[in-house]
Structure 1
Amino acid sequence: MSHSHSHNHSHTHDLNGRNLLISIILNIAITAAQVVGGLLSGSLALLSDALHNFSDVVSLIISYIANKLVRKKASLKRTFGYKRAEILAAFINASTLIIVAILLIVEAVERFQNPQQIESNLVIWLSVVAILGNGFSVLLLKQNADDNMNMKSAYLHLLTDMMASVAVLVGGLLMMFYQIWWIDSVLTFAIAIYLVVMGWDLLKNSFRVLMLFTPEATSIKAIVDDIQTIKPIKNVHHVHIWQLNEQEIHLEAHLDFTEDITLSQFVVILQQIEELVFNKYDINHINIQPEFGKLGDKDIIVQD
């Protein structure tokens, strides 16, 4: 039996979809300009930034598709609908962040061993264009980045790319005034390390949700102890708690009662449990199996 809460996310999803579409168009333009500029100038940092921008385009498209899918209604064949589409998009996008970072590290090491003279003027102007374009996209997505993994993954792609462009700009200025050609490789390496750090946390969190792990902030032991204070509950066992998406946390458990209660009594107790776990632990969907005198494993966690 579940505790349902009505939330209207359609307006937010419409805004997210529009902002993602604007960001996709901007990043396609930036990527094209940086590829041409990187080839003409010989700048690895600019080409690496273009590669990252291309990954941004791919990640934004994935996020946009997930944003559309999540609004599809549940059906007999898809009882949860596409509620996990955005979590899956976040996992894919976090993975691409790390893959791109590894490619950049390899290229940076190779170029550092063989530094090349670079046309710094072109690097500077194109990095400024990228900073402005990505900066605008970052502002569009920032509002929903804290409470939506999908939007956060797109936001992180754009934020790290904007910072990468800032690094490219600094490198271009140093090359122009001081002819420090190896700075291009060093900055590329630094950008790549930053991508790994930013991508890992999102990859880990989205993986936890996809694997049905207990949310990190949720204590099963504390929840069980609280539920067992309700009379006439004797034991809470066979517990599963998982996060379906960023709006839904589900609890499934078996309750062993000290007496053979009626169905109407169970409904009253169920309402108490629903209010308890929702108000104290933000769990908004529960499924309880009542038991009396049933033999079997009564451990909190039972391997199915």
Structure 2
Amino acid sequence: MADVVFTAVQKRYGAVEIIPGLDLAIPDGSFTVLVGPSGCGKSTLLRMIAGLEEVSGGSIHIGGDDVTTRDPSQRGIAMVFQSYALYPHMSVADNIGFGLKLSGMPKAEIAARVKDAADTLQLTHLLDRKPKQLSGGQRQRVAIGRAIVRKPKVFLFDEPLSNLDAALRAQMRVELAELHSRIGATMVYVTHDQVEAMTMADRIVVLNGGRIEQAGAPMELYRKPATPFVAGFIGSPKMNFVTGPEAEKLGGELVGVRPEHLRIDETGPWTATIRHVEHLGAETLIHADAEAIGPITIKAEGDVPLASGKSIRIGFKPEDLHRFVGGRRQE
């Protein structure tokens, strides 16, 4: 295991600057998720850790060693991609151990490592099968097993669940989090899905335009987003924002309130007309147009019997408001 430290790291493609100068420390043994919209630089950062992208400026250290100019094979990392990239003619066991075979490792050691990885990933009963006989989730576990057997200092994951359906993604989120708990390795995971970030990470780094907006524990970012960008990106459904005179009355240039912190309240300050209601069973999402602030979403518990066109009043607790002045959170 090892920490990963970026110091004044830059990335340019000709005159185009992708990463303008980034400082970041990824703790040893952490499950750190790099999250942000497309083009924010998260995959570029991951590829620079791996040595698949050259660093235009600054340095990267893994476990205290400067790896800025080292080849990928010399960095002590293993990477799991969105594509499984399994050899269709090989068994699961051969796929997992193929990299070790190429390195010239003795057969007995390869067999032992493959068995350990298979036990960890619950693949032991599948070792003789070919990839075409596996489900998408099982194939992804094989790809992860191929990384585990290398016993790397750092695991890198580049949107590995993107090709799975919703149910499998949810299952694999749990399995990856449990895997991290079992092996305690440093894991760096890239995704654009903030739900993946919130459910798996012990540390989230939110990126925007190649810059770090905020880094911290998932619930820290949820409860105290440093900027409007983080406030709008973390949380599902997205935070509601209030601007103009209404925001000023509430003590900010911009004021945010999460859908789950709003409630239908006959004494509430905002009047709204319901546009659409999503009945999800355990919860109900109410999309409405509020007279003072515009479109707004309310997340209510249970199945709330409301219909489009109905007029409602909306309330909230002052302590649930997020006030921003000059683009920064105000306590």
TM-score (normalised: structure 2): 0.22
Larger radius of gyration: 1
TM-score (normalised: structure 1): 0.24
Structure richer in strand, relative to its length: 2
Greater relative contact order (Cα < 8 A, sep 6+): 1
